[in-house]
Amino acid sequence: MFEFCTDHDTLGNLAWMACSLTTAKHAALYWSVGTVLVLLAVTAPAALAVGFGGAMAARSRIPPVAWLGRGYIAVVRGVPDIAFFLFFVIALDQLFEYLRHRVKCPDWTAPVRQGSNFIVCPEAKLPLSTAPQVWHEVYGFMLAVITFAIIFGAFAANVLYGAMRAVPRAQMETAEAYGMSQRQAFRRVLVPQMWVYALPGLSNLWMVLVKATPLLFLLGVRDIVYWARELGGTKTPQFTDYPHGDWRMWYFLALLVFYLILTRVSEIGLDRVMRRLTRGQATSGGEAERKALAT
């Protein structure tokens, strides 16, 4: 907040905008941009790890494990994302509270399920009612990360499973002919090779993940969509000292520009990763790079 913001009535247009955009509420908007970036930074590797496990399960030679992996991929991919987002948040919250309930309140005799109500002892609530607001935000963010990882992990598993199958079988046979075990051939040949085939699909999945971050708003996390709606609408003085008309269009336009910039930066980064992975590889990308270097 600037010093000249003390007298609102004497401010010109530019000074009024400078004062309005530096309030504590707008600081929360700027902080929520970091929340989105942290969500992407945490969720992407988590979803990739879940996806790799799902792909491993889907290609397992043990039928129950393969059925589990393929079933996980099919179920999550076949249901709208928003349904899973709303389901997992409730299910995970109740699961965590139930486990805490069993540990902290072993003498509790009443049933947890009472009709349509889910009731646990006060000590088992997450977070506790006396906890600061920041812990409510952290808990909601944690549930969001787990939910994103489960959902997008299924899509990543489908991409990685297809990439594993795209690696020529002759390479695995050659590795085994040189005395490698199946595990060694998988680790040294299949996994390094599959990323070339998986990256196009993973790149698209990353873009979908970026566009899905506004779903944090549905999960109760005060993200940039929440603050854009609140700050852009007509507000009473108790919300902001600088009331204005309905400016939501301009705030959402700023969100559009933010996501376009984030998408463009992602495209540049992914293109560089693809060029690095295809260097020296017997793929169309590697062949194109070889011809470009030869000319």
pLDDT in tens, 82-93: 888 888 888 888
Q: What percent of the chain has pLDDT over 90?
A: 17
Report how far residue 282's alpha carbon sits from residue 151's, in angstroms, rounded to the nearest whole number.
Answer: 32
How confident is the model at residue 293, as a pLDDT? 53
Burial class (CB in 10 A: 0-12, 13-18, 19+), 285: middle
The model's confidence at residue 288, banded by pLDDT at 50, 70 and 90, is: low
Residue 101 has pLDDT above 50, yes or no: yes
pLDDT: which is higher, 45 or 221: 45
What CATH number is associated with residue 136? Answer: 1.10.3720.10
Report how far residue 99's alpha carbon sits from residue 94's, in angstroms, rounded to the nearest whole number.
Answer: 9
Residue 251 has pLDDT above 50, yes or no: yes
Report how far residue 111's alpha carbon sits from residue 209's, in angstroms, rounded to the nearest whole number.
Answer: 39
AA letter at 123: E
How confident is the model at residue 265, as a pLDDT? 92
Out of 84-93, 161-170, 237-246, 259-268, which region has the weakest mean confidence (pLDDT)? 237-246
The domain in which residue 216 lies consists of 3-294
Pairing, β 117-118 against β 113-114: antiparallel
Residue 159 has pLDDT above 90, yes or no: yes
Q: Which long-range CB contacts under 8 A does 228-233 form with residues at least 24 apart?
A: 228/29, 228/252, 228/254, 228/255, 230/25, 231/25, 231/26, 231/29
How confident is the model at residue 237, as a pLDDT? 46
How confident is the model at residue 155, as a pLDDT? 92
Q: Are 113 and 94 in contact (CB under 8 A)?
A: no
Task: Tell which residue, 144, 262, 267, has the closest CA to residue 275.
Answer: 267
Q: Enumerate residues 6+ apart whose C-beta is below 8 A from 240.
A: 20, 23, 25, 231
The total number of residues written for the chain in this structure: 295
How confident is the model at residue 295, as a pLDDT? 58
The number of distinct structural domains making up the chain is 1
How confident is the model at residue 6, as a pLDDT? 58
Residue 103 has pLDDT above 60, yes or no: yes
The model's confidence at residue 117, banded by pLDDT at 50, 70 and 90, is: confident
The model's confidence at residue 108, banded by pLDDT at 50, 70 and 90, is: confident
How confident is the model at residue 240, as a pLDDT? 58
- pTM, to two decimals: 0.78
How confident is the model at residue 12, as a pLDDT? 56
Out of 24-38, 160-174, 270-284, which region has the weakest mean confidence (pLDDT)? 270-284
Question: Please, what is the average pLDDT of the chain?
Answer: 80
Residue 3 has pLDDT above 60, yes or no: no
How confident is the model at residue 41, as a pLDDT? 92
How confident is the model at residue 67, as a pLDDT? 94
Report how far residue 228's alpha carbon sits from residue 16's, in angstroms, rounded to the nearest whole number.
Answer: 19
Residue 292 has pLDDT above 60, yes or no: no
Out of 43-52, 159-168, 209-218, 262-271, which region has the weakest mean confidence (pLDDT)? 209-218
